[in-house]
Structure 1
Amino acid sequence: MQSPLLSKLIRLFGALTLASVYSAQAAAEKPNFVFIIADDMSYETLGAAGMLDIDTPHLDSMVEAGTSFTHAYNMGAWGGAVCAASRTMLNNGRFLWQAQESTKPAIENKQMWGQRMQQAGYQTYFAGKWHVPHATPVSLFNVTKNIRQGMPKQTPAGYNRPKSPEDYAEGWKPWETKYGGFWEGGKHWSEVLADDSSEFLTTAAKEDKPFFMYLAFNAPHDPRQAPKEYIDRYPLDRIKLPKNVLGQYPYADKICGLTLRDEKLMPYPRTEYAIKVHRQEYFALITHMDDQIGRILEAVKSSGKADNTYIVFTADHGLAVGHHGLSGKQNMYDHSVRVPFLVVGPGVKAGAQIDTPIYLQDVTATSIDLAGAPDESIDFKSLMPLLRGETTQHYDSIYGAYMNRQRMITKGDWKLISYPTAGVERLFNLKKDPNEMDDLAQNPEYASKLEEMRTALTTLSTELNDPLTQESSPKRVKKRKK
């Protein structure tokens, strides 16, 4: 006859064994996540989007295999390094002005993205560009490799170029390894990330736990360096100038500054030659990155776990590279605030397109939702209701900000850009004017629409705890420069 103590131990052991079985089953049912993010990649730079003559066959295959969000936005930045704000929001799940203050508390409360996924039972991996102030991925992910804290080092020779074909012939060239940057360490950083990703996936395939991978390219950020064969794929006669090209943006000195690092990459005034060379290098680096993404996609397939894996590709913001006479991302035009956003995975409709506006950081809430650990402390929204076709509604309007110098609201077909320090407003009908060239702010026919958008921006700014009080009024707005 068993003693009461022995019976209790047997029951306890049985319960623990059963619990571990259920736990293993639950882990097996959870989907895996591969999150791939680029740096400085505009929404227009996908070949499948049909806007530019650019080669991105592997990303195009994701478009075919999954769902594309055509209007994915970054909310903005509190400083010139827009990626730092974008990636901070991504990792702590808070809207712009809350994110600026919440990284340290989020780490302490185990609320950073990698920590949340670990708590949900995931084996977590990180490699590539980080750039989140006051945080290090080593303490937030189970496995890390080749962490790049910021951009590849630029050199003086990489600025204010090229002034002419002769200047180009004698100056900085993207394939020359002597300039370091992406070539620092002896192997192009995009190729290193693909190596690390494949290694992670080989290991993860053998794990019982579901996996979460955060794979962050530095490309196509400057210095835009790629092997010469990729540059050669884009002869200058293949490159078309943007329709909204300008020699210099009329408010550049007020909204970001002519001496801003990104704006100093190209000479002033912007010339057709310089813009084409920079876009050549931009496209080449994107195509080179696309080939590395192809290696990652193949590694997912080879892992044997593709059927239960969500793959998301996006970027932390876009880039001008000649649009509106601008070079960088420190502006509120779509070429700089909109990014690609592709989702492939179980139950995701193939070849589908969703035009509902989202924030790119919604991926954080989405992954946590699918991991079975939703958290109300995350400001962003899960995309699953959109992906499942349960709704077409998400955010009423989209907000954008850059320091105290720029504000933006996109609502329906309309966009209002406000430059508080310059006393200027710009109003665009995005449906009729997708290149944002026809400013309607001074047109009396649109006075009521302008006032409507001002009110909407003020309301949204208040909701988001914007530190800058919006006080735009007709009396305060200067006459637009010609």
Structure 2
Amino acid sequence: MSSTPTNVLLIMSDQHNPKIMGSAGNPLVATPNMDRLAARGTRFSDAYCASPICVPSRASVATGLYPHQTRYWDNAMGYDGAVESWGHELQKVGRRVESIGKLHYRNENDPTGFDVQHLPMHLKDGVGQIWGSVRDPLPRRDNAPLMVSFSGGAESDYTRYDAAVTDRTCEWLADEHNHDEPWVLYSGLLAPHFPYLAPPEFFELYNPDDMPTPTMRPEHGHARHPWVEAFAGVLPGLDDANTEEERRRAAAAYYGLVSYLDHNVGRILDALDASGQAENTLVIYTSDHGDMVGSRGLWGKSLLYTESAGVPLIIAGPGVEAGTVNSTPTSLLDLYPTILDAAGVAATGEPRPGTSLLQIAESPDPERAVMSEYHAMGAASGAFLLRKGDYVLHHYVGYDDELYDVATDPNQTKDLAHDPAYRETLAALLAEIESICNPTDVDAQAKADQAALVERFGGPAVAATLGTPGETPPPAV
């Protein structure tokens, strides 16, 4: 734990595929500001969310606990402060802690650990996608928006909201009243979350004809795992039954949104520099989950592949070695102890599974294990990811496993789960999951909790119609 309290600036985007960033080796995308942050700090190359969907992931960021511990399973019911957050720990010692932008909790009136919430974005009217809690049988969402068809160069409510959040963040950092004592500030941006509409000047950075062809597409002979095929079958809005022209336009728009996000990150970093506080501020950049961006013929989140469950993760500031890449498997659960560590605040609640990224930066551990889990819309059963060393296991309750060597096969093209040579590796990774939780029991608990929620809202037929069909609307700005 830091002996000298440091300010913490946590910038969290939404749905940023970790492979689409210049410092991660992508030669096409323009992300100069994220890249300069990585150049003056440490980029964690193998970072994962706790659940590849907004609300559970964000509840885990707040609490430092897995979804099976918090029981925020899906996008139906948001974090309400019932489980203490890192913000609560900061408030106990009188540390100033504020948020600007998207949190995606239940509502701003719940005691979630912020002294002030500026321009807060939460679930609409405190209730999210109840339809996503209907798990047996899974309802087919034929009315879901076609994400790929609705794309291109244009402003949206989401891009306008991000501009307002960035403005407010820059104003907050410039305000001399915020310079008198240590602080923790969270800034939540929406890009590159769909709709895939990038401001024209950013969309025009990319020629759709130059966009890379997504990997592992079914029409190229790559059969999808049965669990994934079942997911695609009930969420056709995420399946890629579009023309090649539409796919390329959507990919260009996604890249444009990443560059728009980078532009806003740059504005915030410049404001921090101008405030004179950069030397005493730990900056963290990450996202709540990724986006498939057409890989395996799918768009959006919810899957265990790196494009969806992986996240970008960069830290820079006092005591952080510049220009390093750390291959230790890391998790968004590590943000809880990192923020407290940098702020010089000791945790008082129940132990959390995460480890401070400041400690991991000093003592890398490539054999560390981290887990992610999914129990939300389209999931026929609970899905669990375990990353350790070079290998990643996907364990689907009631289905065959998937096993990949992501050191030699980063695009996860060769499933090793049925190769006898990897039987011991698979068993060891499954044992790691079982040391954290019992997947079968967790799957049953998730479904029981969701069934009770569905009954509360009138039963499966009614619940299947409740909640926004697509993205959560932002507040008017």
TM range (shorter): 0.7 to 0.9
Q: Does 1:290 align with 2:262?
A: yes
What is the alpha-carbon distance in structure 1 between the residues aligned to residue 427 and residue 115 of structure 2? 51
Counterpart of 2:402, as a letter, is: R
Note if contact 2:147-2:194 (Cα within 8 Å) is conserved in structure 1. no
The CA deviation string for residues 174-211 of structure 1, in whole angstroms up to 9 with x for no partner, is 4445xx5326xxxx122111101011112255542211
Of 35, 44, 52, which residue of structure 1 is paired with 2:10?
35
CA distance change for structure 1 residues 173 and 455 in 2, over 3 Å: closer, same or farther?
closer
Deviates more, 1:33-42 or 1:132-141: 132-141
Note if contact 2:39-2:323 (Cα within 8 Å) is conserved in structure 1. yes
What is the alpha-carbon distance in structure 1 between the residues aligned to residue 249 and residue 339 of structure 2? 39
Counterpart of 1:159, as a letter, is: L
Q: Could you tell me which residue of structure 2 aligns to residue 237 of structure 1?
A: 209
RMSD (Å), alpha carbons: 3.2
Deviates more, 1:143-152 or 1:404-413: 143-152
Q: Could you tell me which residue of structure 2 aligns to residue 466 of structure 1?
A: 442
Q: Does 1:419 align with 2:391?
A: no
The CA deviation string for residues 386-421 of structure 1, in whole angstroms up to 9 with x for no partner, is 22x2x2238742222211332222222122212224
How many correspondences in the alignment? Answer: 415
Q: Does 1:316 align with 2:306?
A: no
What is the alpha-carbon distance in structure 2 between the residues aligned to residue 407 and residue 175 of structure 1? 36
Note if contact 2:11-2:285 (Cα within 8 Å) is conserved in structure 1. yes
Matches within 5 A, 1:379-394: 379=352, 380-387=354-361, 389=362, 391-393=363-365
What is the alpha-carbon distance in structure 2 between the residues aligned to residue 384 and residue 463 of structure 1? 31
Q: Could you tell me which residue of structure 2 aligns to residue 474 of structure 1?
A: none
Q: Percent identity?
A: 26
Q: Does 1:208 align with 2:180?
A: yes
The runs of 5 or more residues in structure 1 that have no matched partner are 1-26, 163-171, 470-482
CA distance change for structure 1 residues 211 and 465 in 2, over 3 Å: closer, same or farther?
farther
Matches within 5 A, 1:223-262: 223-247=195-219, 249-251=224-226, 256-260=231-235
Q: Could you tell me which residue of structure 2 aligns to residue 196 of structure 1?
A: 168
Q: Could you tell me which residue of structure 2 aligns to residue 407 of structure 1?
A: 384
What is the alpha-carbon distance in structure 2 between the residues aligned to residue 129 and residue 419 of structure 1? 31
Q: Report deviation, 1:431.
A: 1.7
Q: Could you tell me which residue of structure 2 aligns to residue 95 of structure 1?
A: 66
Deviates more, 1:188-197 or 1:126-135: 126-135
Q: Could you tell me which residue of structure 2 aligns to residue 19 of structure 1?
A: none
The runs of 5 or more residues in structure 2 that have no matched partner are 130-142, 376-380, 446-477
Of 409, 417, 438, which residue of structure 2 is paired with 1:433?
409
Matches within 5 A, 1:8-23: none
Q: Report deviation, 1:128.
A: 1.1
Q: TM-score, normalised by structure 2?
A: 0.78
Secondary structure of 1:276's aligned partner: helix
Q: Report deviation, 1:92.
A: 1.7
CA distance change for structure 1 residues 464 and 115 in 2, over 3 Å: closer, same or farther?
farther
The CA deviation string for residues 57-87 of structure 1, in whole angstroms up to 9 with x for no partner, is 110110111111111111226xxxx110111
Q: Does 1:144 align with 2:117?
A: yes
Q: Could you tell me which residue of structure 1 aligns to residue 473 of structure 2?
A: none
Q: Report deviation, 1:101.
A: 6.1
Structure 1 or 2, whichever has the larger Rg, is 1
Q: Could you tell me which residue of structure 2 aligns to residue 330 of structure 1?
A: 302
Deviates more, 1:339-348 or 1:143-152: 143-152
Secondary structure of 2:416's aligned partner: coil
Q: Could you tell me which residue of structure 2 aligns to residue 167 of structure 1?
A: none
Q: Report deviation, 1:115.
A: 2.5
Secondary structure of 1:220's aligned partner: coil
Deviates more, 1:330-339 or 1:132-141: 132-141
Higher relative contact order (CA 8 A, sep 6+): 2
Q: TM-score, normalised by structure 1?
A: 0.78
CA distance change for structure 1 residues 442 and 463 in 2, over 3 Å: closer, same or farther?
closer
Q: Report deviation, 1:136.
A: 4.5
Q: Report deviation, 1:467.
A: 4.5
What is the alpha-carbon distance in structure 2 between the residues aligned to residue 75 and residue 312 of structure 1? 17
